[in-house]
A and B are shown apart, each in its own frame.
Chain A
Amino acid sequence: RKEVEQDPGPFNVPEGATVAFNCTYSNSASQSFFWYRQDCRKEPKLLMSVYSSGNEDGRFTAQLNRASQYISLLIRDSKLSDSATYLCVVCSGYSTLTFGKGTMLLVSP
């Protein structure tokens, strides 16, 4: 089983739609969790950290379920500019960052 697993997609949604991505991780000792965004041929950039209590940043909501070892990202009112690949990232140990393969989102007019 891979350390971090994501559905690669692509998820094709119209503008204004709500879309959700899930990610599962295998290391129960993982300490920190993040969602990164990567545009085509660009470097990954932090979208948001994921906290145990769940957290929201504008149209984006991240949730963590430690018991089931999964992380989710919800995007409301999708914009064309949200089209990108979303990478689930898990931190185990002091600084060991492990990335999922990413989920591609395509938002159409």
Chain B
Amino acid sequence: DTGVSQNPRHKITKRGQNVTFRCDPISEHNRLYWYRQTLGQGPEFLTYFQNEAQLEKSRLLSDRFSAERPKGSFSTLEIQRTEQGDSAMYLCASSLVDYGYTFGSGTRLTVV
């Protein structure tokens, strides 16, 4: 297992388009998290899964955002009708216990 994998690494999209990102966590980790990070800021929590159940969503996650984790394995994060303010690095992390995440390299989204 080579860690948490995120695809694509970079995505440029036009405003109003839909985008979907994928995260493959470390296989034995049952917890998966999505965070968003803008330049000069620390990551902000978006949502969290334990196995296939989405247990918590941030108020940052508007109705244009949806995340799934079918079968408790990989996860997808979809943004509908993208806006320029959605431009950010989207980070996925997984963990087995509460202490310490393993992050992926992120997906850099640019909305033009």
* A pairs with B: no
Residues of B within 8 A of A (CB): none
Residues of A within 8 A of B (CB): none
